[in-house]
Structure 1
Amino acid sequence: MSLDAWIAVGVVLTIFPLMAFSRLGPDIILLGAVIVLMTLGVIDPQQALGGFSNSGLFTVAFMYVLVASIRETGGIDLIIRYVLKRPKSERGALVRLLLPVASLSGFVNNTPVVATYIPAVMSWSRRLRLSPQRLLMPLSFASILGGTITLFGTSTNLVVHGLLLERYPELGMGLLDLAWVGVPVAVVGLSYLILFGPRLLPAREGLANAFANPREFTIEMEVDPAGVLVDRTVEEAGLRHLQELFLVEIERAGNVVSVVGPGEQLKGGDRLVFAGTSDAAVELQQIRGLIPSRDGTSSLEKEFKERRLVEAVVSNQCQFIGQRIRDGHFRTLYGAAVLAICRGGERVKGNLGQVRLQPADVLLLEARPPFIERHRQSRDFLLISELNGAARPIHEKAPLAWGLLLGAVLLAAFGVLSMLNAAMLGAALALLTGCCSVGAAKRGLDTQVLLTIAASFGVGAALQSSGAAGVIGGGVLTLVAGNPLLLLIGTYCVVALLTELVTNNAAAVIIFPVVMSAAESLGVSPMPYVVAVMFAASASFLTPIGYQTNLMVYGPGGYRVSDFLRLGSGLNILTGAIALVLIPLVWPF
């Protein structure tokens, strides 16, 4: 291999462990790799920036706007309200949950679908007296299975199809071509989840009970009207820097002051709510001017329009990962106070200020109403929902938003417009009809995914132009002894393994040129391998970190990694076997 080829291979071998084990985002890692490759002359600026002009990338971006219009108008809430209802058995509940989720995910990005469903499922499971752990992991897996049915189903399908068109313009696929394999894979996968999910998943208490009793994680005191703290600020009263406690809110004359600042003045009869350890109550009782609360009910159980209790799932991209809550000034940055933390289905005991945040931790926060909208699209949180899953009201434009999405799908399916043009037209109409505001459209764009995709193209171009892809492809051919079927199986297994460790888009785009070079050397059709890359990149059922929806349900469901292995390993084997049998039949070598 040439020096450029060795550099390209070295960069790729560095990328994968960095994405799997570092806290840096995949977009930052891949953009850094592109900069290194361009600086060293492996790729030119046109190749480095080629991903930003790919049709697949722009189709994904416009689809995000269409999905934002459905979310903003409450379109998914509409389906939840009329479909879930009250089934007679646990398997009946799974049928009512999984079938619409899989169907939706064939045409709508599955992240907002799962984000909308999680609080509804938590509330629904309480009404049905079912453990949410029996429902949330199947919810994520069903959304992944549904995404394999169409080219619109996942961003990976659109991106790989964009790569295919660049390399073989005559081999373009129709919107529903994947359904020949995707529908059987989804049907068998959903059947597996419905039949074996109740047997293989645990029924621990989980998040539902971890935050159920506010008295377990809050302490309430009153300001003595005749005491020395009256008219003093929180800072002057020494309540700002307590060792094991946070002053969360002040209840005063039927109103509440939430997320209390250091300059807030105390009044006689104020009811102070602290979050922290029960042992720290002794410290509070020793402060002159504070007396135990005389009201029997917990302040957190009362409704105040100035306060919201929300659950937030910590993202693996959160800037506070590995930091203590107190050291990171969480309250200052977000304007929200941490009341409790749930990890692995159990509430974290002890001093909250000393807890180091981890990905998928579920935080019970007290915040002001604007917090939810301000941070709903934040990269720091995978999911933000009001306690008890309060659904937003159904907007009158929800049917119009669904109509625009359906129209875009039909135009693309019947070949009237290309997928890019159909998605672009749908997004434009969503903005013009008021289904989605410009601000909501901007928030709906997942810039991390888009940058990851664009940068992946640069890395893939380096493998291709340097000759590394051809050399590696030749080596792969030697390993599989020139057998097209063994190459197909190897392609599927490698991409499926990588997608468990890094992002599905990066795994697909970087492996694509290697597989294409191997197929060309073998003299066979590239189509079975293109489709295998699409399906394998979505087959992420073994770990919570492999796919964003898995991480979203990991915390609220109170799961452990072993739970994913128990249910997901069988699903991985089953769906992989079906895909590998059907792909060569639909797209012969």
Structure 2
Amino acid sequence: MSLDAWISLIVAGAVFPIMALTRISPDMVLMGAVALLLSLGVIDTEQALSGFSNSGLFTVAFLYIVVAGLRETGGIDLIIRYVLGRPQGDRRALTRLILPVAAISSLLNNTPVVATFIPAVLSWSRRLGVAPQLLLMPLSFASILGGTITLLGTSTNLVVHALAEQRIDGLEMGLFEVAWLGVPMAVIGLGFLVLVGPRLLPRRAGTEDAFSNPREFTIEMEVDPSGPLVDHTVEEAGLRHLSELFLVEIERGGNVVSVVGPGERLKGGDRLVFAGTAGGAVELQQLRGLMPSRQGTSSLEKEFRERRLVEAVVSDQCQFIGQRIRDGHFRTQYGAAVLAVCRSGERVSGNLGQVRLQPADVLLLEARPAFIERHRQSRDFLLISQIDGAARPVHERAIRAWGILAAVVVLATSGMMSMMNAAMLGAAATLLSGCVSVAGARRSLDTQVLLTIAASFGLGAALDGSGAAAEVAGALLSIVGDQPWLLLIGTYVVVAVLTSLVTNNAAAVITFPIAMSGAEHLGVNPMPFVVVVMFAASASFLTPIGYQTNLMVMGPGGYRLGDFLRLGGPLNVLTAIIVIALTPLIWPFTG
């Protein structure tokens, strides 16, 4: 094996543990790997940048804009309103939820679908008296299963399809071709969720219960009109650096001052809301000029146009992971005050400022109205949902947005246009029709995913061009012999394991050249291996970190790692059996 091949294998081998075991984002890890390979001369500039000119990457980017149009116009919310209804019983509620989710996810990126459904499902479960744990994990899994039905369902399908077009001469793969396998897999998987899910999923408190009573995690005081604190700033009054409390808002004359700064001057009769421990009340009572609030209704139970109460799910890419809330200057960075933290369905007790943030923590925040739009697409948060006075979407353009998506599907399916051209036309129509603003379209582009895909192409090119992929494939063939079935099983297992630990796009793109080299060595049809890479990369049910939607539902549902293993483990085995058994029947090895 050549030196370049050894370097490629070492770099590729280092990429996966770095992504799995560190907080460095996948796009930065992969970009660094490509830069290293380029500087060592393993790949040239054209190979390093090949991902940035790939049609799959541009198709994904254009579809983000089309999906943004549906989100901004309330198109997905419109489906929720008419589909969920009031079913009787856990299994009927589960069926009513996961069938439309799977159908929508077959055409849309599942992340915005799940993000839109989570607040609606929490409210719906409360009305039905159904534990949210029975619905949220199946919501995520249904979106994953639905994404396997078409090439548009996930970015991974589009990227692998683009790779296959480059590798296989004369490849013609229709938009719904993978449905021959995706539909049976989705039907059996959804049936498993309905029949077995309620038996395996826990029933425990979620964020709805943890955040339901503001008086449990806030303390309200009033400024004595004749006391010494009147006309003093928050800093001068000694309220800026309390040991166990944060001053989060001031109610004054029917209005509210949210995310209070140190220079805000206190007025007589101001109602001050502090977040923290009950023990911190002793510290407040020792301050002359403050007295307990005499009003019965908590300030947080009132609606003010100057502030919003929102729930935010912390991403594993959040810059404050592992830091204490006070030390990280959370309020300064985001313009929002943390009122409470929920972890695994339970509110974290103790000194709020000493809490160290973890992925999937759910934060109850008080923020200014601009916070939601400013940070909705932030990589620091997986989900931001408003819980007080949420504006209802205006649906006048929702039908238009759905029509644009339907046109994209028709154009791509009929062969009138390539998928990239159809998606590009759909993105332009979404902007010109006013379904999404230019700023909204720009925010919708998930640059981390796009950079991850582009950089993965460079690493895949190194494995292929250096001969490392062929060498690895040869080593695998020495184990499995001339049995394509065994190579197919090995490909599925490797990709499925990697996608449970790191991003699915990277797992698919990096293993793709190895699978193709194995098929070429055996002299068999490469299509079964193309399809297996697609489906194995999407089969991420084992852990919350393997797929973004799993991490999104973990906090609001109060799930623990064992809950994913309990339901996702059998589902992973079931989908593996279906894929491995049916793939060679639909795309024979001798085709």
**Pairwise TM-score range, normalised by the shorter structure:** over 0.9
State the alpha-carbon separation in 1 of the partners of residues 75 and 395 from structure 2: 8
State the alpha-carbon separation in 2 of the partners of residues 526 and 388 from structure 1: 53
Hey, which bits of structure 1, 4+ residues long, moved more than 6 A?
Answer: none
SS of corresponding position for 2:27: helix
1:281 correspondence with 2:276: no
Residues 122 and 388 of structure 1 are in contact (CA less than 8 Å); yes or no, is this contact kept in structure 2? no
Q: How many angstroms does 1:96 deviate by? A: 1.0
Task: Write out aligned runs for 1:103-502 (5 A).
Answer: 103-387=103-387, 390=390, 392-502=392-502
State the alpha-carbon separation in 1 of the partners of residues 391 and 563 from structure 2: 29
State the alpha-carbon separation in 1 of the partners of residues 211 and 348 from structure 2: 11
1:503 correspondence with 2:522: no
The one-character-per-residue Cα deviations of 1:559-585 (angstroms, maximum 9, x if unpaired) are 000000000011111111011111000
Q: How many angstroms does 1:416 deviate by? A: 1.3
Residues 492 and 533 of structure 1 are in contact (CA less than 8 Å); yes or no, is this contact kept in structure 2? yes
Residues 9 and 468 of structure 1 are in contact (CA less than 8 Å); yes or no, is this contact kept in structure 2? yes
CA spacing shift, 1:41–1:436, aligned 2, 3 Å: same
Residues 223 and 267 of structure 1 are in contact (CA less than 8 Å); yes or no, is this contact kept in structure 2? yes
State the alpha-carbon separation in 2 of the partners of residues 164 and 71 from structure 1: 31
Q: Which amino acid aligns with 1:284?
A: L
Q: How many angstroms does 1:394 deviate by? A: 3.1
Q: Which amino acid aligns with 1:23?
A: R
Task: Write out aligned runs for 1:2-81 (5 A).
Answer: 2-81=2-81
State the alpha-carbon separation in 2 of the partners of residues 172 and 248 from structure 1: 59
State the alpha-carbon separation in 2 of the partners of residues 212 and 144 from structure 1: 31
So what's the TM-score if we normalise by structure 2? 0.99
Q: Which amino acid aligns with 1:588?
A: P
Residues 223 and 268 of structure 2 are in contact (CA less than 8 Å); yes or no, is this contact kept in structure 1? yes
1:578 correspondence with 2:578: yes
State the alpha-carbon separation in 1 of the partners of residues 292 and 433 from structure 2: 56
State the alpha-carbon separation in 1 of the partners of residues 430 and 292 from structure 2: 55
1:549 correspondence with 2:549: yes
State the alpha-carbon separation in 2 of the partners of residues 88 and 125 from structure 1: 12
CA spacing shift, 1:191–1:323, aligned 2, 3 Å: same
Deviates more, 1:389-398 or 1:494-503: 389-398
Residues 309 and 388 of structure 2 are in contact (CA less than 8 Å); yes or no, is this contact kept in structure 1? no
Q: What runs of 5+ residues in structure 1 fail to find an aligned partner?
A: none
State the alpha-carbon separation in 2 of the partners of residues 548 and 487 from structure 1: 29
SS of corresponding position for 1:148: coil
Superposition RMSD in Å: 0.9
State the alpha-carbon separation in 1 of the partners of residues 171 and 574 from structure 2: 29
State the alpha-carbon separation in 2 of the partners of residues 215 and 277 from structure 1: 11
The one-character-per-residue Cα deviations of 1:242-291 (angstroms, maximum 9, x if unpaired) are 11110000011111111000010001111100000001100000001111
State the alpha-carbon separation in 2 of the partners of residues 419 and 295 from structure 1: 60
2:516 maps to which residue? Answer: 516
Residues 49 and 458 of structure 1 are in contact (CA less than 8 Å); yes or no, is this contact kept in structure 2? yes
SS of corresponding position for 2:212: coil
State the alpha-carbon separation in 2 of the partners of residues 388 and 291 from structure 1: 28
Q: How many angstroms does 1:295 deviate by? A: 1.2
Q: How many angstroms does 1:388 deviate by? A: 6.3
So what's the TM-score if we normalise by structure 1? 0.99
State the alpha-carbon separation in 2 of the partners of residues 408 and 365 from structure 1: 39
State the alpha-carbon separation in 2 of the partners of residues 160 and 479 from structure 1: 26
The one-character-per-residue Cα deviations of 1:5-57 (angstroms, maximum 9, x if unpaired) are 11100001110000101001000000000000000000000000000001111
**Kindly, what percent of the aligned residue pairs are identical?**
74
Q: How many angstroms does 1:391 deviate by? A: 6.0
2:535 maps to which residue? Answer: 535
State the alpha-carbon separation in 2 of the partners of residues 389 and 547 from structure 1: 31
SS of corresponding position for 1:212: coil
The one-character-per-residue Cα deviations of 1:184-218 (angstroms, maximum 9, x if unpaired) are 00000000001111110011011110001101100
Residues 469 and 513 of structure 2 are in contact (CA less than 8 Å); yes or no, is this contact kept in structure 1? yes
State the alpha-carbon separation in 1 of the partners of residues 366 and 345 from structure 2: 20
Q: Which amino acid aligns with 1:120?
A: A
State the alpha-carbon separation in 2 of the partners of residues 390 and 173 from structure 1: 43
State the alpha-carbon separation in 1 of the partners of residues 137 and 575 from structure 2: 17
SS of corresponding position for 1:341: strand
Residues 19 and 25 of structure 2 are in contact (CA less than 8 Å); yes or no, is this contact kept in structure 1? yes
Residues 59 and 420 of structure 1 are in contact (CA less than 8 Å); yes or no, is this contact kept in structure 2? yes
State the alpha-carbon separation in 1 of the partners of residues 493 and 480 from structure 2: 13
Residues 77 and 392 of structure 1 are in contact (CA less than 8 Å); yes or no, is this contact kept in structure 2? no
Residues 284 and 290 of structure 1 are in contact (CA less than 8 Å); yes or no, is this contact kept in structure 2? yes
CA spacing shift, 1:299–1:265, aligned 2, 3 Å: same
Residues 8 and 462 of structure 1 are in contact (CA less than 8 Å); yes or no, is this contact kept in structure 2? yes
Q: Which amino acid aligns with 1:249?
A: E
